[in-house]
């Protein structure tokens, strides 16, 4: 057994929960929705790479749930909510707290303005903003001057 202090245990369980949700999401997107119409026979058994960990009965229940009308309704609601996000961030799992710490470390100063965090959190990996975000950034900069 492992003995962890409370904070480490909490963070470990939180991380495991996130990975579990990501795994189920990836399986749903890359396998179930990908092959539900083209090759439904592939969904009859767990994928070979996961077969040693996923029992056939559990796999059947998972596929049945993900293809149910109730699940599709929930999925559509969540997709609709995602489309409402006008200015999505590009921080991946970094988050504002770690982004702020990174900027403080890189620039050697303490306390970063919220508007600068918002701006930096929406810079794409290619190094720019979308047109909508650029318009908001320009408004923020003009207000700060």
With beta carbons less than 8 A apart as the criterion, state whether 118 and 133 touch: no
So what's the pLDDT on residue 13?
A: 92
Could you report the per-residue pLDDT of 13-30, keeping only the tens digit for each? 999 999 999 999 999 999
Residues in the chain: 145
- The verdict on pTM exceeding 0.85 is no
Alpha-carbon gap, residue 17 to 24, rounded angstroms: 11
Q: Is the dihedral of CA 112, 118, 25, 35 positive or negative?
A: negative
Whose CA is closest to 54, among 29, 14, 23?
Answer: 23
| Burial degree of 117 (CB within 10 A; 0-12, 13-18, 19+) | middle
Flag residues of the chain having pLDDT under 70: none
Alpha helices in 28-87 (DSSP H): 33-35, 56-66, 69-83
Return the pLDDT at 113.
87
CA distances from 46 to 10, 53, 69, 93, 102 (A): 31, 9, 22, 29, 41
Q: What pLDDT score was predicted for residue 94?
A: 82
Q: What are phi and psi of 23, to 5 degrees?
A: -60, -50
Give the integer Cα–Cα distance in Å for 28 and 65.
10
């Amino acid at each position: 057994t492992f003995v962890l202090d409370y904070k480490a245990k909490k963070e470990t369980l939180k991380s495991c929960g996130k990975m579990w949700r990501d795994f189920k999401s990836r399986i749903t997107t890359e396998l179930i929705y990908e092959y539900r119409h083209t090759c439904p026979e592939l969904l009859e058994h767990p994928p070979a790479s996961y077969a040693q960990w996923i029992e056939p009965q559990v796999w059947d229940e998972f596929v049945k749930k993900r293809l149910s009308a109730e699940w599709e309704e929930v999925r559509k609601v969540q997709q609709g909510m995602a489309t409402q996000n006008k200015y999505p961030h590009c921080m991946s799992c970094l988050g504002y707290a770690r982004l702020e710490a990174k900027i403080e470390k890189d620039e050697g100063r303490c306390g970063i303005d919220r508007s600068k965090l918002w701006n930096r959190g929406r810079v794409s990996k290619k190094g720019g903003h979308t047109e909508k975000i650029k318009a908001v950034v320009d408004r923020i900069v003009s207000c700060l001057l």
